[in-house]
Amino acid sequence: MNFSPQLIALGEYLAGEFDNREQAIADPAWYVHLRLWQRPVDLFTEDSITLFAEQANVINLDQPYRQRIMRLCQGRDFDAPLEVQYYMLQDPGAFKGAGCNPALLNILTPDKLDLLPGCILTVTQEKLASDRYKFIATPLPETRCSFTYLGNVVYVSLGFEATATEFQSHDKGIEPATGKATWGAIMGPYRYTKRNHYSIG
């Protein structure tokens, strides 16, 4: 399928290795120094660009966590022409470390994923230059991203902004009873700088 230039740009901006070193040094009380990998995977290629995402504290790079799949596709609304659908790995442990060791992703197939229906973002873009964009991803109205992990229901508020060199994560864990954020971007987004680019081709 021929993808739009905007979808290709979004995939290229998101694919890579990132960290928030400058932010963690400037404000260590609120921001852990994290490494983030977003690796292209060969799934849903008929209509999507798909990424495996994983992160780790830089002092424990051998203990990555929060594995997830992001499927980037054309949207259904002219005002939000792109969408990101999240999936959960049925066995996250089987792919632990795939950020550093992408060979682990060779056995990843759609039947090893669970669709998260409420975990979907609409993506709009601002044009910065002739071929550069800033992408802004926000939840659909009246949706709630939730899933079951280790027997507990987890609620997450998702969102991000991306340019060719930076990725800002607004992801937060939400306490269902109070609606308050309990982890993640509580004091503002995690601001990552791209350190290494991964090809989506």
- pLDDT reading at 87 higher than 90: yes
Which of 27, 39, 87, 44 minimizes the C-alpha distance to 64? 39
Predicted pLDDT at 129: 78
Task: Summarize pLDDT for 26-65 with one digit per residue, the tens.
Answer: 999 999 999 999 999 999 999 999 999 999 999 999 999 9
Write down the number of H helices and E strands in the chain: 2, 14
Which of 158, 179, 181 minimizes the C-alpha distance to 169? 158
Tell me the pTM. Answer: 0.93
Predicted pLDDT at 79: 61
Q: How confident is the model at residue 78 (pLDDT cuts 50, 70, 90)?
A: low
Please answer whether residues 51 and 37 qualify as being in contact, where contact means their C-beta atoms are separated by less than 8 angstroms.
Answer: no
Predicted pLDDT at 168: 98
Task: Summarize pLDDT for 91-106 with one digit per residue, the tens.
Answer: 999 999 999 999 999 9
Q: How far is CA 165 from CA 12, 69, 123, 134, 195, in A?
A: 10, 21, 18, 10, 8
- pLDDT reading at 134 higher than 80: yes
Q: Does domain 5-195 have CATH number 3.20.20.70?
A: no
Q: How confident is the model at residue 170 (pLDDT cuts 50, 70, 90)?
A: very high
Please answer whether residues 74 and 82 qualify as being in contact, where contact means their C-beta atoms are separated by less than 8 angstroms.
Answer: yes
Domains of the chain by residue range: 5-195
Considering only residues 174 and 12, tell me which one the structure prediction assigns the higher pLDDT.
Answer: 12
Residue partners of 98: CB distance under 8 A and separation at least 6: 37, 39, 52, 54, 67, 104, 105
Please answer whether residues 181 and 2 qualify as being in contact, where contact means their C-beta atoms are separated by less than 8 angstroms.
Answer: no
Q: Which helix (H) or strand (E) holds 10?
A: helix 5-14
Q: How confident is the model at residue 130 (pLDDT cuts 50, 70, 90)?
A: confident
Q: How confident is the model at residue 153 (pLDDT cuts 50, 70, 90)?
A: confident
Residue partners of 5: CB distance under 8 A and separation at least 6: 131
CA distance 35 to 103: 19
Residue partners of 108: CB distance under 8 A and separation at least 6: 41, 43, 52, 95
Predicted pLDDT at 177: 79
